[in-house]
Amino acid sequence: MSRSFFSTLALVCFLGLLTSGCAIPGLKEANQRLKEQNDRLVSENNRLEQELASFRSGGSPGLAGGEDTPERRAEASDLLIPDGDGIGSNVQVERTAEGIRMTIPHRVFFDPGRTQITGVGKGILQKIAQVLNAADYSDNTVRVEGHTDDVPVNKVRERYPTNWELSTARACSVVRYLVDKGGVTKSRIYPAGFADTRPVSDGNSVDSRQKNRRVEITILNQGA
């Protein structure tokens, strides 16, 4: 064979070595980056699993041991009710001394002066029923509270003379739906009406009264 052939072969081998020599460090860097990303994902997954376990056992990762803020409430809400159908924007979830409380504005469930649950409200209650029936909470007692503002009943006074009757009737409507349509065992859920006796916002402004008109669903701690 000619000298030029061997020279060409030697050049090809040399270039091959150079190419592999450049590729190997590149692969090492890529592998290192992937390993670091994987380590971060594993760490984050472990953290979320620990927080979820703490939340379900009564430790609330979003609320316990810190200030009650919208961000912390949102975190707790995501753990309890993932925002798959916009439910997270309508339900405020927080942990209290009694258990896990879900607060829903009355306008989501009821038209003014009415006790029939709206279509939107039924959709939200179906999601809440899934939570109540989940293995983590299937043995917990559930309390459904109706709350009104301080404005006396007017248009429906014949049926509901005062806010006591109206708030109780609304709580009963929610309970009936959760039992009849949501499959919640009726022996572990009960209604309560508080009228305007437990406001969450002081004053008689439109905003304050709107906040006070609400339904609260509490998953009580076992033994409470």
Give the pLDDT confidence of 154-176 residue by residue, as tens digits: 888 889 999 999 999 999 999 99
Question: In whole angstroms, how far apart are CA 102 and each of 19, 23, 80, 81, 199?
Answer: 62, 56, 10, 10, 16
Sheet holding 214-220, edge to edge: 92-95, 99-105, 214-220, 142-147, 189-193
Threshold 0.75, pTM exceeds: no
Between 86 and 179, residue with greater pLDDT: 179
What average pLDDT score do residues 110-128 get?
A: 92
Predicted confidence band at 149 (pLDDT cuts at 50, 70, 90)?
Answer: very high
User: Across-strand partners of 144?
Assistant: 191, 217
Q: pLDDT tens digit string along 45-94?
A: 666 666 555 555 544 444 443 445 555 454 445 545 554 445 566 788 88
Most trustworthy range by pLDDT among 48-52, 125-129, 143-147, 152-156? 143-147
Question: In whole angstroms, how far apart are CA 120 and each of 86, 87, 110?
Answer: 11, 10, 9
110 alpha-carbon distance from chain centroid: 21
